[in-house]
Amino acid sequence: MTTTNPATATDAKISVREVTKTFPLKGEEFTALDRVSIDIADNEFVTVVGPSGCGKSTLMNVLAGLETPTSGEALVDGRAVSGPGPERGVIFQQYALFPWLSVRKNVEFGLKVNGVPKAQRRERAEHFIEMVGLQQFADALPKMLSGGMKQRCAIARAYAVNPSILLMDEPFGALDALTRVKLQEQLLDTWSREKRTVMFITHDVDEAVFLANRVVVMAARPGRIYDVIDVDLPYPRTEDVRLSPEFGELRNRVWHAVYHQEPGVAAGATSH
């Protein structure tokens, strides 16, 4: 089981240090993140769950390089994040596929803008389209795809540029419960074959426990880390795991941490 503590922070794949992010909101300062610190190890699968307004998406945007922290810093491979980079793939809740490009062209997009030659592009795209099972839809436009297929395409697109980190912002949030469960299983399957460091934002407690090595529970006003819960369940996570008493117990713990938060507690910020 991978657990990291701040003492070995330099070894961490992702290291968030005392990150604070404030926004001006109607003349006042809104603190989206308040001295958030967390380390994520290489190839670890971390889920982040919390009530709305807890800053989980802001945390992801900081790591993606789409937002700069007001203070503190986010390190990836020991280097401070100063903008988006090819080693960090991002998957958005709204899929964010380019609607004018076919599935194949969407998957090739990142390769194309990075100057990968056409033949190589084709080959890599083919591989990842196959990985998510969209071979038959390679030439279809996004409008032809269902929500689940769109998100699979987005996952293939993120994988195609070969990032070592995947940042996923409630990727299955817009999907129905059945599709969601199926995609969770497929995601874990993909992850076990193509290991990456994953930070997965969700508001679904079951999803958070089912996917993760570690669940980070956040609290709102100000956005902070409330608790970090290790998930000592074996991979591959089968249906048996999902229905096991151990799973239920962990789910209860996470549920409690999310829905019955004591005011003023912050795990990450006060740990050192």
* Nearer residue to other proteins within complex by CB, 128 or 226: 128
CB of 19 to other proteins, least distance (A): 19
* Nearer residue to other proteins within complex by CB, 175 or 258: 175
Q: Does 161 bind other proteins (CB under 8 A)?
A: yes
Q: Does 114 bind other proteins (CB under 8 A)?
A: yes
For β-strands 28-40 and 224-230, DSSP reports them as unpaired
Per-residue b or e along 238-266, where b marks 16 or more CB atoms closer than 10 Å to that residue's CB: eeeebeeeebeebbebbbebbeebeeeeb
CA–CA gap between residue 56 and residue 224 (Å, rounded): 9
Interface segment toward other proteins; rule CB under 8 A; list 41-49, 60-68, 220-228, 259-267: 60-68
Whether the Cβ atoms of residue 73 and residue 51 lie closer than 8 Å to each other: no
Tokens of 99: 């609607």
CB of 74 to other proteins, least distance (A): 14
Near other proteins in 119-148, by CB under 8 A: 141-143
Query: Omega of the bond prior to 236 within 30 degrees of 0, cis?
Result: yes
CB of 109 to other proteins, least distance (A): 6
- For 267, the 3-state DSSP assignment is coil
- Of the candidates 84, 133, 234, 248, which one interacts with other proteins according to CB under 8 A? 84
Interacting residues toward other proteins by CB under 8 A: 64-66, 84-86, 88-90, 92, 94, 96-101, 109-110, 113-114, 141-143, 157, 161
